[in-house]
Amino acid sequence: MGADVARVRDVTFRRSAVAATLWILASIAVLLSGLPETVRASFSGGAIAVTAVLAATSCLFAARRSRGRRKRAWALLAAAGYVGFSGNAVALLTGTTQTGDLAYLGALLIGALALLSFPSSPVRRTHVARMLVDGVVVGGSVLFIAAVAVFPGREMVGAWLSYVIALVLPLVDAVLATLAVLLITRSSRSDFVPLLLVGLSFVLYALADLSYAALGVAAFSLGSPVDLGWITGYAMGGLAARHPGAVGAASEPRRDESSPVVATVLTFSLFIVAAAVGVANVAGAPWSPVATALWIVILLAVAARQTILVVHNERLRRELEGRVRARTSELRTMTQSTELVLASVADGIYGVDRAGKVTFVNPATARVLGYSPADLVGHDAHETFHAPGPDGVPFPADGCYITEAVRDGVTTSAEEDRYRRSDGKDIPVEVTASSLLDGAVVIGAVVVFRDMTQRREVDRLKNAFVSVISHELRTPLTSIRGSLGLLSGGAAGELDPQAARMVTIALESSERLTRLINDMLDVEWMEAGVSPIEPIDHSARDLVDAAIDQVRGMAAPEGVSVRLGEVTGHVHADADRMVQTFINLLGNAVKFSPRGSEVVVSARPSGAFVEFRVADRGRGIPPDRLEAIFGRFEQVDTTDAREKGGTGLGLAISRSIVERHGGRIWATSTLGEGSTFHVTVPRAETANHIAARATETDLIDVSVTEKEME
Ligand code: ADP
């Protein structure tokens, strides 16, 4: 709502309030005046009719301005006003009070629907019922107090229907007034004034209707101050519809559920007061039939209220029980499936608390370690089954991955760990320990381990096989190669050209076979960790020079030059292994470079590493093969092995070597333009004891001329 619209509505409301006040004051003046009774009666009839129509129309406008439930509420209130007015008009014209009373009753019921349509009203059926019954108890109690204390001893005269209606009308008024008050406790602030005015209007109707009932339906005639109740009531209703809050404030949040305590306290306080007043008066004068009937209605309402509450609570309880049952069975299913998973996995899984004591073990853990779960739970995991090192000295608990996971909150793995079984036998295990987190707090660790006994056995057999091959194949191959070399060198006399060609082919093949076997053995040894890495500090230049020296012989016939680019930095590495790697990279670069091109080697420190680069201007490597070529027997082209004499194992060996140093190796390439192989190796921690070498770029041409070869 714009600020202007709000101001206009505020002004309209104030003006209406002033008009209503003047109108009420005028009515008071007339009805309390000494004017003849007929004049007063005509005035009253007219005043009630006019105020009712004005109020109903005002509600209609409010309905037009509002939306949703609020629109319905105001429209129903307008309808209630029109129905009430029409009934009264008919009654006045025909002289039958019952028609008027019935119409009035209808109007009140529509009013009740209107109140229940307000956005602040409850949506659940039990709440609506409880509110209505509360209304009956509160309104009934007020009326009862009035009937006993204010109008004692009055007898009703007239037809029974009038009697009943006369009793029901103030009761319904009171219920509506109470409803309005109860709604206020749940409504947003903007609804406060409109609802208060609506409540007030029903209170005023209730007073007038009660007087009407108490004074006697038959003896009643318009023109007394009692009529002020209706006039003022209608005026308040009309005024409520003109209040700016009647259309609601869009931004205001609704209060969802008011505390039922307020309603309960209000209801029972009034009930108790009514009971006290009733008891106090019963001795003085007997209750009027109105009072008695009211009391019965109140008691019934109280009973109904309690019944509704009990039924509602019972339903709630059942609902809750149902939910708890469903949740419990869900949890049970979840727990069962988790247990099933834990019981079915072949890997051992166990948990420890912050102190390192075992909290749970899965069946595989108990089976592999040869304990029963009860033997393990509650015991210190590290002390119970973490086997000591090969020298028999127990691992310090401080360095155990369990301690690290708990203390540092990190996930750690140990590929070559050993656990001690209950029978004293050690088994090789691969372990991963992760910290167990409750939110951000580490409450322990969970450890997964795999029994590697079988895998190690397979490895052992493979190694044995490899060493047999190395011995059994390499020895005869060496003598074949030697013999073929002698033959081709003319040791057995000059061979005829055809025989010489065949011997050369056989010699080349045997050399390739030797290379292949050597490479295979190398891969196996590297991966089995047979050939240990022994790193010491070296200057990068030394390693590169050593490698270039060895490639020189092979680069010359290919017409490829190897140029030394900028080489700086010191590494902590196993020289033999690194030189082997660079020879392989340089060999490949030379092999795959066209005649007349150059291969450039460079190295420079980068972070904690020195990065070496071997760049060629060869055919390049397709992007999808850049990673694959580091696998065993992987080649870009299947003819590479034959034509270039490769085995497809060189890069696999290189990667193994580099990774065992803690570095990385990878390739970048542009097809047709060349490739660059990158190798990172840890920097030397203490580089100062290595003689500083000149680092300026110099060019070493290793393309050897025919003359040098000789
Ligand atoms: P090989 O003994 O076959 O050279 P490698 O493992 O050293 O075995 O290399 C695998 C494959 O990677 C080679 O066969 C070749 O297809 C490709 N490759 C390696 N280096 C280069 C390079 N510098 N340029 C182009 N291709 C290369």
Give the model confidence (pLDDT) of 556-570 as tens digits. 898 999 999 999 999
Residue of the nearest CA to atom 11 in ligand 1? Answer: 635
- What are the φ/ψ torsions at residue 537 (nearest 5 degrees)? -80, 135
Q: Which two tokens stand for residue 637?
A: 């082209």
Provide mean pLDDT across the span 366-373. 92
What's the CA-to-centroid distance between 628 and ligand 1, angstroms? 10
Residue of the nearest CA to atom 19 in ligand 1? Answer: 588
What's the CA-to-centroid distance between 477 and ligand 1, angstroms? 25
**Between 104 and 481, residue with greater pLDDT:** 481
DSSP line for 368-428: HHT--HHHHTTSBHHHHHB---TTSPPPPGGGSHHHHHHHH---EEEEEEEEE-TTS-EEE
What's the CA-to-centroid distance between 634 and ligand 1, angstroms? 8
Q: What is the domain-level CATH number for residue 542?
A: 3.30.565.10
Share of the chain above pLDDT 90, in %: 32
The residues, any chain, with a CB within 8 Å of residue 65's CB and separated by 6 or more, are 246, 247
Q: What is the domain-level CATH number for residue 444?
A: 3.30.450.20
Alpha helix (H) residue ranges in 489-618: 497-528, 540-558, 575-591
**Between 302 and 166, residue with greater pLDDT:** 302
- Using DSSP bridges, classify how beta strands 674-682 and 609-615 pair: parallel, antiparallel or unpaired: antiparallel
**Between 158 and 23, residue with greater pLDDT:** 23
Report the distance separating Cα 424 and Cα 192, nearest Å. 82
Residue of the nearest CA to atom 8 in ligand 1? Answer: 648
HSE-up (13 A, CA, CB side) for residue 294:
32
Last residue of a domain, one of 426, 451, 476: 451
Tens of pLDDT, residues 250-276? 555 555 455 567 778 878 888 888 888
Give residue 217's Cα distance to chain centre. Answer: 68
The residues, any chain, with a CB within 8 Å of residue 84's CB and separated by 6 or more, are 52, 103, 104, 107, 108
Strands of the 412-420 sheet, one edge to the other: 358-361, 348-353, 441-451, 426-438, 412-420
Please give the DSSP secondary-structure letter assigned to residue 149.
I
Decide if 110 is inside a domain: yes
The answer on pLDDT for 674 being more than 90 is yes
Provide mean pLDDT across the span 413-420. 86
What pLDDT does residue 514 have?
87
Which position has the token pair 């393990």? 376
The answer on pLDDT for 310 being more than 80 is yes
- 589 Cβ below 6 A of ligand 1: yes
Last residue of a domain, one of 405, 435, 451: 451
Which pLDDT band, with edges at 50, 70 and 90, does 214 fall under?
A: low
Provide mean pLDDT across the span 623-649. 81
What pLDDT does residue 547 have?
94
Shared-domain flag, residues 387 and 431: yes
- 627 Cβ below 6 A of ligand 1: no
| Closest atom of ligand 1 relative to the 637 alpha carbon | 16
Report the distance separating Cα 581 and Cα 603, nearest Å. 14
What's the CA-to-centroid distance between 524 and ligand 1, angstroms? 20
Residue of the nearest CA to atom 23 in ligand 1? Answer: 589
**Between 245 and 386, residue with greater pLDDT:** 386
Decide if 23 is inside a domain: yes
Helix (H) or strand (E) holding 444: strand 441-451
Q: Are 561 and 617 in contact (CB under 8 A)?
A: no
- Residue 670, SS3? strand
What pLDDT does residue 593 have?
93
Shared-domain flag, residues 17 and 152: yes
What pLDDT does residue 206 have?
77
Question: Closest by alpha carbon to 404, among 365, 439, 444?
Answer: 444
Shared-domain flag, residues 597 and 516: no
Which pLDDT band, with edges at 50, 70 and 90, does 692 fall under?
A: very low
| Closest atom of ligand 1 relative to the 641 alpha carbon | 3
Q: Are 465 and 528 in contact (CB under 8 A)?
A: no
Provide mean pLDDT across the span 104-123. 79
The answer on pLDDT for 433 being more than 50 is yes
Decide if 697 is inside a domain: no
Which pLDDT band, with edges at 50, 70 and 90, does 151 fall under?
A: low
The answer on pLDDT for 462 being more than 70 is yes
The answer on pLDDT for 375 being more than 60 is yes
Provide mean pLDDT across the span 47-75. 89
Mean pLDDT (the chain, rounded): 83
- Residue 612, SS3? strand
What's the CA-to-centroid distance between 599 and ligand 1, angstroms? 15
Share of the chain above pLDDT 70, in %: 86
Tens of pLDDT, residues 348-366? 999 999 999 999 999 999 9
Looking at residue 621, its amino acid is: I
What's the CA-to-centroid distance between 633 and ligand 1, angstroms? 10
> How many separate domains does the chain show?
4
Dihedral Cα 235, 237, 242, 244, nearest 10 deg: 130
Shared-domain flag, residues 363 and 308: no
List the beta bridge partners of residue 426: 420
List the beta bridge partners of residue 610: 605, 681
What pLDDT does residue 259 have?
58
Shared-domain flag, residues 631 and 654: yes
Decide if 489 is inside a domain: yes
Range from 199-213, 216-230, 613-627 carrying the lowest mean pLDDT: 216-230
Shared-domain flag, residues 426 and 465: no
Shared-domain flag, residues 480 and 421: no
Range from 103-107, 338-342, 348-352 carrying the lowest mean pLDDT: 103-107
What pLDDT does residue 689 have?
40
Decide if 324 is inside a domain: no
Question: Closest by alpha carbon to 191, among 69, 58, 54, 61?
Answer: 69
Shared-domain flag, residues 173 and 305: yes
Shared-domain flag, residues 540 and 523: no
Ligand 1 pocket: which of 651, 673, 676, 677 to mutate (most atoms within 8 A of CB): 651
What pLDDT does residue 90 have?
79
Decide if 710 is inside a domain: no
671-681 b/e (C-beta count within 10 Å ≥ 16 → b): eeebbbbbbbb
What pLDDT does residue 708 have?
38
DSSP line for 348-367: EEEEEETTSBEEEE-HHHHH
Ligand 1 pocket: which of 629, 637, 668, 671 to mutate (most atoms within 8 A of CB): 629
Provide mean pLDDT across the span 277-293. 72
**Between 539 and 135, residue with greater pLDDT:** 539
Highest-pLDDT range among 200-204, 507-511, 664-668: 664-668
Range from 317-331, 333-347, 467-481 carrying the lowest mean pLDDT: 467-481
Shared-domain flag, residues 199 and 232: yes
Report the distance separating Cα 433 and Cα 352, nearest Å. 10
The answer on pLDDT for 699 being more than 50 is no
Decide if 358 is inside a domain: yes
Q: Are 669 and 620 in contact (CB under 8 A)?
A: yes
What pLDDT does residue 621 have?
94
Which pLDDT band, with edges at 50, 70 and 90, does 282 fall under?
A: low
**Between 132 and 445, residue with greater pLDDT:** 445
Range of the domain at 640: 536-687
What pLDDT does residue 120 have?
65
What pLDDT does residue 79 have?
93
DSSP line for 187-203: S-GGGHHHHHHHHHHHH
396-422 b/e (C-beta count within 10 Å ≥ 16 → b): eeeebbbbbbbeeeeebeeeebbbbee
- 665 Cβ below 6 A of ligand 1: no
What's the CA-to-centroid distance between 511 and ligand 1, angstroms? 19
What's the CA-to-centroid distance between 636 and ligand 1, angstroms? 7
- 190 Cβ below 6 A of ligand 1: no
Tell me how many degrees the CA angle 284-286-288 measures, rounded to the nearest 5: 130
The residues, any chain, with a CB within 8 Å of residue 181's CB and separated by 6 or more, are 138, 199, 266
Ligand 1 pocket: which of 632, 636, 649, 654 to mutate (most atoms within 8 A of CB): 636
The residues, any chain, with a CB within 8 Å of residue 563's CB and separated by 6 or more, are 598, 599, 600, 601, 699, 700, 701
Report the distance separating Cα 668 and Cα 650, nearest Å. 17
**Between 1 and 247, residue with greater pLDDT:** 247
**Between 519 and 128, residue with greater pLDDT:** 519
pTM over 0.85: no
What pLDDT does residue 691 have?
40
The answer on pLDDT for 50 being more than 80 is yes
Provide mean pLDDT across the span 292-316. 87
Report the distance separating Cα 216 and Cα 45, nearest Å. 19
Last residue of a domain, one of 451, 474, 493: 451
Q: Are 702 and 551 in contact (CB under 8 A)?
A: yes
Range from 173-182, 191-200, 538-547 carrying the lowest mean pLDDT: 173-182
What pLDDT does residue 546 have?
93
- 615 Cβ below 6 A of ligand 1: no
Give residue 338's Cα distance to chain centre. Answer: 22
Decide if 27 is inside a domain: yes
Which position has the token pair 């080349």? 508
| C-alpha dist (Å) from residue 124 to 128, 188, 257, 312 | 6, 19, 11, 11
Please give the DSSP secondary-structure letter assigned to residue 624.
G
The answer on pLDDT for 47 being more than 50 is yes
**Between 198 and 291, residue with greater pLDDT:** 198
- 598 Cβ below 6 A of ligand 1: no
- 636 Cβ below 6 A of ligand 1: yes
Shared-domain flag, residues 544 and 645: yes
List the beta bridge partners of residue 674: 670
Shared-domain flag, residues 236 and 222: yes
- 675 Cβ below 6 A of ligand 1: yes
